[in-house]
Structure 1
């Protein structure tokens, strides 16, 4: 047998051998560069594959033909099971979510079911407070100027919140609020800044019971208005009578009475004092007509007392 026929009869075990291709000048170096880059890429892929196999604790079978790697398709038919670590993390996250949801629902139902009861209890506690109004005598204040009036109120020991301080109005006059004895100026100031209409019924009663507002005007003659909320009289007629008694008007001359166009029940007249004769008017209306606050008692009234110089 000749060498040529022997070669045809016994092919190499690695497959047919390709004849070497002629290379043009300079192509050999680029071929080596491509081979090095391909080798580096394959090494990086091998490293990444090794890392993934290490993380998930399994070996992946692959077949490489030249530069192409074929993954074993058997993995596609394996059961879809999470790694133990992933399961543990997911279970922990679910437990945290369950606890957070439970706390949220607990707080929500507490607000829905128990908050109205708490507000009602707070309302009743504030209504039962024993606080004094200490209404000032308007007839005694009428002859005084603004500074003297404010000095008289300060000397009386009232806790005062100056809404319009003395001397800030070019036309004269001022506005001051006497606060309940158990409420600080800071607390009251925050409530007034919030707005009485925006307070709960319990907070509104806490602010208004034992408080009054004194408004002095010099614009069109001298006049003083005193306003407060009455939670104790029970009826509108008693609220009017209580205000008259506090100002010493029980025996004063009554020139007018009834219900005005705004719905106020009122009495009006004149009174003679050592310092002069003054016109007066006492009126009352349901407190709910003044403040749009849900839950205010229907036996609460807004009372106004006005003194002015008689013509």
Structure 2
């Protein structure tokens, strides 16, 4: 059986769900959080501190981060988010931990916190160019670049950056369409995001994979084609925007992780259990 699963940010909103789901799936979990309320107070920006809790671990799910740049000093956002990602990758390398899951964001392309987000085409894929301008988007984009670098120097490593979007308990309509043009009315449930984390732990193949983790439909009552024409005229679609389909492509999450963007409350499957991670 695989060793324990280490989860940083374990006291956070997503971290709590990942820990609970991992326990249901049969994992032994080491909970790590800067506050100490999850079981171990650890400086998540320190490679040495993280290495100390990774000894013998099967995998690391690194969720500890500043969730937005709002009300937070820009340098702190970059220090915690990018510094934490680098620390996680360095600690995994030092301890021989080959499986690392990183919490990224759809904002790696720019988006919610930009003055005027730029979209080249819909649906937005993981290959979309980054036009990051705020510290949060920059931290997520650079974190993915760091994972690319570590994948090159560690060919056997299985690194996954999950681009989450507007985590919430479950589906709910937004109040106004005008509130969503920057982040494209996207969202994902906590439970679906937690499932993506565990599927990423056990995924097949080495290298670094970036995957959008976004629900299949928008939060708007307005059809996607109408939203697109009204708020993003001139941005082409590479696939027909039928009904209320998401502005984000989730093919990578489906094909590589077996993750279903249409299932907001997925059951635990064998793909999430510890024996699925060789």
- TM-score for both structures, normalised by structure 2: 0.25
Report which of the two structures shows the higher radius of gyration computed on alpha carbons: 1
**1 or 2 for the larger relative contact order (CA 8 Å, sep ≥6)?**
2
Higher strand share: 1
